[in-house]
Amino acid sequence: MYSGGCLCGAVQFEIHGPINHIVHCHCSQCRKVQGSAFATNGIVKLKDFNILSGEAEMTAYESTPGQKKYFCQICGSPIISKTDSKPDEVRIRLGTVSSDITERPMAHIFTASKANWDEITGNLPQYESYEPNRVK
């Protein structure tokens, strides 16, 4: 089990399952919403994601048609995103998870649009858009 929450503590959640397909996304949307060089996201089954408190403090922004990003309206912490075409899963921002995470990132994606001041290091595969075989 994993636990986590937003910066101010209003939103608290638990994850009762694995965090899959962890990637460092360098697309312009992830950079803007995260305020950094990239966002680290993982996929969690909706049935395994439970908001313990603060659901009323969460608000959504439809960043692209069919995809909403949910964040705490008090402190602005991005928590999850949901895609209409994948109703059984959420994409979690790993920076909001407080527990030690056992799964590891598998790739850097959207490196073609990475910040010009960012230098990607390490041995993870790098892809100009989505990683191969991803179901969009």
- Tens of pLDDT, residue by residue over 120-136, are 999 999 999 998 877 65
* Residue for token pair 């965090």: 19
Its pTM stands at: 0.92
Residue 131 near residue 124, CB atoms below 8 Å: no
Tens of pLDDT, residue by residue over 66-88, are 999 999 999 999 999 999 999 99
Model confidence pLDDT, tens digit, residues 34-58: 999 999 999 999 999 999 999 999 9
- Tell me the domain boundaries of the chain: 2-113
Query: Euclidean distance between the first and final Cα of the chain, in Å?
Result: 27
Residues 6+ apart with CB under 8 A from 116: none
Q: Is the domain covering 2-113 a CATH 1.10.287.990 domain?
A: no
Buried residues in 98-114 as b, exposed as e (16+ CB within 10 A): eeebeeebebbbbbeeb
Q: Which tokens sit at 76? A: 């602005």
